[in-house]
Amino acid sequence: MKKYKSKYLDGKQYYSWEYDEHTNFKHRLLACYLGAWFPILSSRFDLNYFDGFAGCGSYFRDDNEYPGSPIIAVNAWKDRGTRGKKLNIIAIDQDSDVCDNLQKVFDENKHSSVEYIIQNSAFDAGILQLLENASYSTIRPSFFFVDPFGINLDFKTLEEILKYSKVEILLTFMYDGVSRCIGAESGRLDSFLGTEEWRELKDLHGIIRQDSIMDMFRNQLKQHAQYVWPYKVHSSKADRTLYYLVHISNHLKGASIMRDCFSSINHGRIEYLGKSNNQLSIFELKGFKVSEVQNYLLRNCTGFEGSYNDLLSLIIDATPYQNQVLRKAVKQFEKSGRAIVQRVTSKQTGIDKDDLVKLV
């Protein structure tokens, strides 16, 4: 188990863990996404935020404090700009000392429309127990942040979560841990990946093995959710994958917002490498040009006829492109006669949602 360097910052009753660059990166993505997700959904629903490997709630760098993931959720909720709905924050951690610390951090971050629940248990058992409780499972849309250090969770638990319709998951997938287990032929991987197929890939090496494992895992998840995208996070020092942040959702808007968030915070080298069925292999998420998207559309989508959202859905699921670049590409195609657009949602020159698009 990873040992954290911790200290008590001046005036605090709780300790904080040392903040590293990659936790910060994860946190910026989470803050960006919840900053969009909460305002959209809380206009109509009470919500749940589950934090599966919640941590101690606080970090330090020098003498400054930074919020842990459950507090990032509290802050995003406070800033959401709408009122009147409620949020459950359900934090699970198997370490009782960590849970005690988190309780103290929660006590300093109270908000009248947030209910704080701390569950001191292992993720798999804790989540299954909570999901049996109808108040968490039936009505509310729920976001799950599942942030283990290694492979200490069961694929079956993800399957259980994904049985509910209004859920989405952001999962930290530590490729290093997986890679080590493949070498050791550990049976633990069967339950983590939800399949024994990885055994067929164990003789592959390097990036080919990594891509193949991620493709396999993505396919496993695709049996339960429409949009699954593993965002790859490289080490900034060595050319090696640190982890993937896998976003699992059934909602086009959510998948598209996550893409925008990832792209907006992407200062390092972050990419997805995969053998997708469209033959593209390496994507840099930064700076896609409209012409690149147009080339993709010409190669793969000529003859497409359907709503703009149908086209966006194809693009979000199979490529790393963003909505705004796709829209520009289709607009330019319309001007040059390669696209015919019949406006349903948009007025005049816009292109969105139900507008009908034909690529000729």
Ligand X SMILES: C[S@@+](CC[C@H](N)C(=O)[O-])C[C@H]1O[C@@H](n2cnc3c(N)ncnc32)[C@H](O)[C@@H]1O
Q: Name the residue nearer to ligand X (CB basis): 92 or 245.
A: 92
Distance in angstroms (rounded) separating the CA atoms of residues 327 and 306: 14
Q: Name the residue nearer to ligand X (CB basis): 120 or 322.
A: 120
Question: To the nearest whole angstrom, how small is the minimum distance from the Cβ of residue 72 to ligand X?
Answer: 8
Of the residues 74, 89, 98, 359, which one makes contact with ligand X according to CB under 6 A: 98
Question: To the nearest whole angstrom, how small is the minimum distance from the Cβ of residue 167 to ligand X?
Answer: 18
Count, residues near ligand X per rule CB under 6 A: 17
Q: Name the residue nearer to ligand X (CB basis): 92 or 315.
A: 92
Distance in angstroms (rounded) separating the CA atoms of residues 110 and 108: 6
**Closest alpha carbon to 100 in 13, 187, 9:** 13
Q: Give the burial class of 332: count Cβ atoms within 10 A of its Cβ; 0-12 exposed, 13-18 middle, 19 or more buried.
A: middle
Distance in angstroms (rounded) separating the CA atoms of residues 190 and 199: 9
Q: Name the residue nearer to ligand X (CB basis): 209 or 247.
A: 247
Lay out the site mask for ligand X across 67-96 (x = CB under 6 A, - = otherwise).
Answer: -xx----------------------xxxx-
Rounded to the nearest 10 degrees, what angle do helices 290-300 and 323-336 cross at?
Answer: 70
Give residues with Cβ within 8 angstroms of 231, minimum separation 6.
29, 244, 245, 246, 247, 258, 262, 270, 272, 285
Q: Name the residue nearer to ligand X (CB basis): 55 or 254.
A: 55
Question: To the nearest whole angstrom, how small is the minimum distance from the Cβ of residue 69 to ligand X?
Answer: 3
Q: Name the residue nearer to ligand X (CB basis): 87 or 351.
A: 87
Residue 173 touches ligand X, criterion: CB under 6 A: no
The alpha-carbon radius of gyration of the chain (Å, integer) is 21
Question: To the nearest whole angstrom, how small is the minimum distance from the Cβ of residue 254 to ligand X?
Answer: 20
Lay out the site mask for ligand X across 105-134 (x = CB under 6 A, - = otherwise).
Answer: -----------------xx-----------
Subset of residues 149 to 168 that bind ligand X, contact rule: CB under 6 A? 149, 152
Lay out the site mask for ligand X across 9-28 (x = CB under 6 A, - = otherwise).
Answer: --------------x-----
Distance in angstroms (rounded) separating the CA atoms of residues 70 and 124: 18
Distance of CA 76 to the CA centre of its chain: 16
Structure tokens at 347: 């007025």
- What residue number has its CB nearest to ligand X? 55
Give the burial string for 243-268 (b: 16+ CB within 10 Å, else e): bbbbbbbbbbbbbbbbbebbbebbee
Q: Name the residue nearer to ligand X (CB basis): 141 or 177.
A: 177
Residue 53 touches ligand X, criterion: CB under 6 A: yes
Distance in angstroms (rounded) separating the CA atoms of residues 87 and 317: 29
Residues in contact with ligand X by CB under 6 A are: 23, 53-55, 68-69, 92-95, 98, 122-123, 147-149, 152
